[in-house]
Structure 1
Amino acid sequence: MSQEPVEAAEQAVEEGGRKSWVIDVRPLRGVAYRRMWIGNGVSYFGFQFTSVAVPVEMFSITHSSAWVGLLGIAGLVPLLVFGLWGGAAADVVDRRKLLLASSTLAWLSTVGLLVQALLGVRSGVLLLVLTAVQSAGFAVSSPTRQAIIPRLVPAALVPAANTLSYTTTTAGGVLGPLAAGLIFGAWSTGTGVTIAYAVDAALFTISFWAAYKLPPIPPMHDDGGTAKPTAGLRGIVDGLRFLVTQPVLLLSFAVDIVAMVFAMPRALFPEIAEDRFGGGSAVGWLFAAIALGSVVGGLTSGWIGRVRRQGVALVLAVVGWGVAVGFAGLASSLWLMVLLLAVGGAADLVSAVYRQSILQVYAPDRLRGRLQGVFTVVVAGGPRLGDLRAGATADLTGPTASWAGGGFAAAGLAVVLALAFPALVKYRPPAGTEANS
């Protein structure tokens, strides 16, 4: 792989800059990272139309939040299988080629959603199947994409690069659901989901462009040599064997699972929007609120790379997320609920950046794909389990108890984990990886 993208970013590190709360944009000086950043941001904006349309369509077919929650399981099973395998494959094949192949699978599933909407199939089972296929593509592409980032920027700019990526995708997470909400407010559910799927399928092509323009990214030993293929069970086991010896990584995964399984209220948005706020564009605001807070948090994130007690910051962010979500579940005003979800979203961005940065700095390149595969299973699987938990408990206790109780439980459990296993709160990044800002 050419060293030009990394050299450009290293020059950005050397140039440094004054301390600021404004988001650090130095990684964008690398052409390869900049292309991937643009492609991911645009395609993620398009994906948000589907992420709103699928649960809305499912609820319109079944009139059950439990069925909406099942979408989480449909996405989780492929994540467990293909997330681990995709991470192992990212360590033994050219990561650019693997990203192109997995993105193609995800795009085909979106086309399938569009076709079933055009035909008016109205099958909850088919929605589950297509969600599973889409999840399989994501399970491979996500660890591959994240394993690429440390090959494009120097270690000192990894937190800044992750912050830029998260901020841009969450900006799409704001604008996409809001646009989807306008669609559902202007058209019937059937027409709205068709338009939403069509937008996603069209914008996904930008992601293909970004992946195609990347330089070759072959697997490398830590000493710079080409790695021999070890995909499959043996490669996965090698990554897991390394992981179980790293308590900091295990604990960072654990607090994220707690945060998402107990405090993710996404499966309740269609029901709450309809019953509490009269439906229409309210569902778009709910789906956008968390991402809106993440964008604001990202735009004021210049401090993130300067924090040395990253483990403490991670735990505090998870606690903040849980508390904000808990109070949001009790809100009777749409705008108060959106505001509290946005506060939670800002906290979630901080925790996401530190989780990703800790892993990317900890992991040697020869294992980075496999560990990113585990990371993908945890980070993407947690919200899907959260969907199942929220939907199932809402049918038993009501949506308010399911939502608010889960948020406060997540905050409490995060504190318990941090106190019981202090390795994470003691963590500081290795010397020489802090940003000069």
Structure 2
Amino acid sequence: MGDFEMKRITTLLGAVSAVALVAGAAQAGEITGRVTEATGSVGLQGAIVRISETGQTVSTSRDGSFRLGNVPAGDFTLVVDYLGADAQTREVTLTSADAMVETNFVLGADVAVEDNILIIGQRGQLTSALNRQRAADGLISVLSADAVDRLPDENVAEAARRIAGINVLNDQGEGRFVSIRGIDPNLNTTTVNGVRLPSPEADNRQVPLDVIDSDVLSSIVISKSLTPDMPGDTIGGNIEIETLSGLDQDERLLQFRLRGIYADVVEEYGYRGSLTFADKFFNDRLGVALSISDQERSFGSENAEVDGTWNTDESVPFPEEFENRNYDITRERTSVVFNLDYDLSESTNVFLRTTYSDFTDQEYRNRIENKFEDPDYADALSSGNGAFFDASTGDEFEVDRDIKDRLEEQTIYAIAVGGETFAGPWTLD
């Protein structure tokens, strides 16, 4: 059999399999719906929806929606379980094998004062993060945007610092690289909306997360165990940066922030501002989200340190080299996120998600280095309590001064174009 005939048979078998899959999916029943809080305007991600009779289980997506496919005809009991609220049950009936039933759950809508109350807001975001962690296939930690807003984090690395098991490596007092469970950051991977980010530095593969401003985040998901959907070179773990989607909002979101910064060491002022917009159009089928953040701050440090070894041969120990250092740094960070999501049908959606971040670091370093050799301990000026250096008697004392001007600029951008469709028990994305 020739190669052409073999390829034709393989293609034919693939087409027949795809048709059979779609045809089989079309005959399967579906139960869809959405889980929201009491007002019906906030979707609850991470709620577990289960069919008691069959054991089928799914977790709600970022807008609170769920879909149970391949359900036969009959009467079933749906159970919704969400941390922070009482479980809800509901009876549903599929009259035929290809029937589709939609049912929505509102948690906390009819609670009395003495009952459990579902809390939204910052505490509710923490509960949502815990539900996502519980529903995940692997071991993850989730940090929501509201949790990030509680502290003035400068960037993604600073925000991730508060997650258990995370260690952050600093640069000039600001978080830069993330280590998961003590593993070298070079062994981690970083993704933005599912798109793998390469390192902007040529000599390593770790991604500096101080490039991305924390104000453009929707959430940070740290995966501490490996799952098949991660990039193939993930060894230590994965850092997923999620940005805002317009379809997640039931109402228009418009948010503006402006903050001032003052550094006492360099006596300079700085600023940090952000603008976020999200809304839905065309009968809530098109979601548009835009987030812009810009900041500039000047800061510095002054320190004295010993370089080299200490001379302990004489009565008064002294360092061979002593340095005074002064750093003046100006950092600028700009991040832009623009996302489009469109629902083609109830089972299919497409998206365009873009992220751009530019980071500039201007550093001036002034260093004075003092190098000592053997001092004269017998000199009267030492008074027996110190050492005296006198060039006229042969004591050597060298002073070096250098000024360093370093400009570092890094740019990260990611573009994701894709879609998702549901066909019975199958999800294609």
Rg: which structure is higher? 2
Same fold by TM-score greater than 0.5: no
Q: TM tier, shorter chain?
A: under 0.3
- Higher RCO (CA < 8 A, seq sep 6+): 1
Give the structure with the higher percent helix: 1
Provide the TM-score with structure 2 as the length reference. 0.22
Which structure: greater strand fraction? 2
